[in-house]
Amino acid sequence: MDQGLSNVHTRVLDSDGSVFRDFPAGEALGGISIGKWLSLAGVSSLSQPLIMPFFRGGVASEQPALRLAGTVLLVRMTYSNYRSWEFFSDPRCDVTVEQVPTAWGYEGTDLVYDVKLQA
């Protein structure tokens, strides 16, 4: 068995821990849209508020929507070659994603254009 770094079975898990997508050993992670990563993190709509207890008392109706405030996603890759229910285990990487609570993803108001604007 090849024990190289590229030979790791990888699973992307959704917010309840079930397998969303399975990548065989050696296959690159790809084909997952930003919208799907947000969904895997439990974000159902960019109109939902980013609840921040320190901002306006944490009242949901007074919080900025994700489409305005942005958000931060934490992608965790957990590598293991041991599972207690198996005597011998192949290496595996489980990928989970979660929305970081109260973290703004706002980048600021500086706009950068790659091309000149036409008048």
Structural domain contains residue 104: no
List pLDDT tens digits, range 50-92. 877 677 776 778 788 888 888 889 999 998 876 656 666 678 8
The total of structural domains in the chain comes to 1
Predicted model pTM: 0.72
- DSSP H or E segment with residue 117: none
Structural domain contains residue 2: no
Tell me how far apart the alpha carbons of residues 99 and 49 are, in angstroms, rounded to a whole number: 12
Average pLDDT over residues 11-20: 92
Structural domain contains residue 116: no
CB atoms < 10 A from the CB of 74, how many?
11
Residue 3 pLDDT: 55
